[in-house]
A and B are shown apart, each in its own frame.
Chain A
Amino acid sequence: MKEIIEKTLKGKNIKVTQSEVAAITAQWESFQKLKSGFDIANLDESDIALTHNLGSDCRE
């Protein structure tokens, strides 16, 4: 994962040190763990078009 992250950032012309790569990798991996809850979310039923207008869910 570290190598992929380093390659991705450098591919976008973003400078990154080895210590940063380690920290960013750890954070990215912690995000992937949060994603494990996706099993209970039936995303197919969520119409993405409903959310394209930011703030659209807040209505009186």
Chain B
Amino acid sequence: MSEKLNEKTISELAPLIKNKQVSPKEVTLAVLDQIGILDNQLNAFIEITAKKAIKQAKEAEAEVFAGNYRGPLHGIPMAIKDNIYIANEVTTMGSKIHGKFIPKESATVVEKLKENGVIFTGKLNLDEYAAGTTNENPHYGTCRNPWDVERTPGGSSGGSAVSTATNMAIATLGTDTGCSIRLPASFCGITGLKPTHGLVSKYGAFPLAWSLDHVGPLTKTAKDAAYVLEAIAGYDVKDPSSVFTTTTNYSDQLTGSVRGLRIGINEDYFFNQVEIGIEEAVKKSISSLERAGATVEIIKMPSLSLVDYAQKITMITEASTVHHNNLISREQDFGNNIRQILKLGELPSAVDYLQAQQIRHQVNQDFNRTFEKVDVLISPTNPFLPPIIGEKPLINKTEVSIFEHISRFAIPFNLTGLPAVSVPCGFVDGLPVGMQIIGPAFKEGRILNVAHTLEQLHPEFKKVPPITRQIV
């Protein structure tokens, strides 16, 4: 079967569009066709903006054909998580309360993608206000995992991961406060990057917990993540947490070589209570990187034992601050899951919150010391395979609490703001497994190169779910 345009990556499409062998309109129509075939089964989209997308595609086509090619994202159809504002389009945050909210201006990341010539095909499903990990949305329906529709795709950026994994989008944007880009990327078998805190503007992305929130790409490959990051990174005066930094050509750093790279492994935290198949898949991938010239060092980080408390106190307190007034006046309009989180977040004292910030600082110092010894850290992205929707997850056949375990390996990097990418590293029982690669602040190029190298060493890790090639 020949590959359809919507099955291609940004890196494959960009030269075809640049050389006028393929038009943005053809790519957009292929993506919209796929949405029409699949989305009624997967529920990845809250809104599909087909007419606007075709109009944008025609404009991109005219520009490219007139010789005004803007770069690798020009004419690429992307979809956006529905907590990121697009001006004059309903942006629901997956909620009833914001169900008719129309922002007057776009998020900075959307403006940047527009400047790069991206075509927007729709708004993607998520947990209500991004406060969840399973994308069971009480107002817009449950998003389903394309590898097994009875299972969760992960959340909160479930729609972003599902649409990318099934070629309903070439790439997407998501947000990540505790695992929400990396977890669904892992559960759906794609790449998800949470950049360094402050590298990508959060202006116009509705906050869940502002000091932990990040915006980032979900893509089919590490190279595609690099292309999207190049477009959306950079200082933004509108975002108080934005950081002045040199902008980098991340895609040029994807050399495919890890010779001399020092990989750190922390067994005590990141390989504790993990599904055995996941541990084996991650460790086999680490061995592959070793054979390609990397070295491995076992490291200790005692402060990691405090991460869970600090992250949870910070997250619930900030989330409750955002929603405090609505929790009093419109309590009945929240779904059960977030309502309970918000009520819980009313309990910590100021001392609890500030102690959590002190712990945060200690954890940061611990990571800074660690990155003097190693270049990257590697861990599983999550400790278990995608659970059946509505059921408890299993670790080695034992039921565990989803709330306590699902984001355990991801949250240290929301708390510290360090960059982390989840990349596919194999399959267990027909379900994808994700490996997390973490680097020092602003070293996205380094972690994406490790992800890219793994993709080159193991092309068999990149598969599409069988449902994706469904013919109607």
| A contact residues vs B (CB 8 Å cutoff) | 5, 8-9, 12-16, 20, 23-24, 27-28, 30-31, 34-35, 37-38, 40-43, 46-48, 50-51, 54-55, 57-60
Contacts of B354 in A (CB 8 A): 48
A-B CB contact pairs (8 Å), 25 listed: A5-B347, A8-B347, A12-B346, A13-B328, A23-B340, A24-B347, A30-B404, A34-B308, A34-B309, A34-B312, A37-B305, A40-B302, A40-B303, A41-B362, A43-B359, A50-B361, A51-B357, A51-B361, A54-B211, A55-B241, A55-B417, A57-B364, A57-B416, A59-B441, A60-B246
Chain B residues, CB < 8 A from A27: 340, 344, 403
A41 x B343 contact (CB < 8 A): no
CB of A55 within 8 A of CB of B243, answer: yes
Complex partner residue of B331 from A14, A28, A31, A42, CB under 8 angstroms: A14
B7 CB to closest chain A CB (Å) equals 36
B362 touches A60 (CB 8 A): no
Docked-complex contact B347 and A58, CB < 8 angstroms: no
A24-B340 contact, Cβ under 8 Å, with A12-B346, A46-B362, A48-B358: yes
Whether B303 contacts A58 by the Cβ 8 Å rule is no
- CB contacts (< 8 Å) of B355 on chain A: these are 38, 43
Q: Chain A's nearest CB lies how many Å from the CB of B46?
A: 27
CB distance from B237 to the nearest CB of A (A): 14
The B interface is mostly helix, strand or loop, or mixed, namely helix
A24 and B243 in contact, given A34-B309, A43-B358, A60-B442 (Cβ under 8 angstroms)? no
Given the known interface contacts A9-B346, A20-B340, the answer about A46 and B358 at a Cβ–Cβ threshold of 8 Å is yes
| B residues whose Cβ falls under 8 Å from a Cβ of A | 196-199, 210-211, 240-243, 245-246, 302-303, 305-306, 308-309, 312-313, 327-328, 331, 339-340, 343-344, 346-347, 354-355, 357-362, 364, 403-404, 416-418, 441-442
A24 to chain B, nearest CB (A): 5
Specify the chain B residue showing the minimal Cβ separation from A16.
B343
New A-B contacts (9) at CB < 8 Å, excluding given A8-B347, A24-B344, A47-B361: A12-B328, A13-B328, A14-B331, A20-B340, A28-B344, A34-B309, A50-B361, A58-B199, A58-B441
Residues of chain B contacted by A37 (CB below 8 angstroms): 305-306, 309
Cα distance, A12 to B361, chains bound together (Å): 31
Q: Known interface pairs A9-B346, A12-B328, A38-B306. Does A60 touch B361 (Cβ–Cβ under 8 Å)? A: no
Given the known A-B contacts A34-B312, A57-B364, are A51 and B245 also in contact in the complex, defined by CB atoms under 8 Å?
Answer: no
Given the complex, which residues of A lie within 8 Å of B357, measured CB to CB?
Answer: 48, 51
Quick one: closest A residue to B199, CB to CB? Answer: A58
In the complex, A42→B306 CA distance in Å?
12
Across the interface, which residues of A come within 8 angstroms of B306, CB to CB? 34, 37-38, 40-41
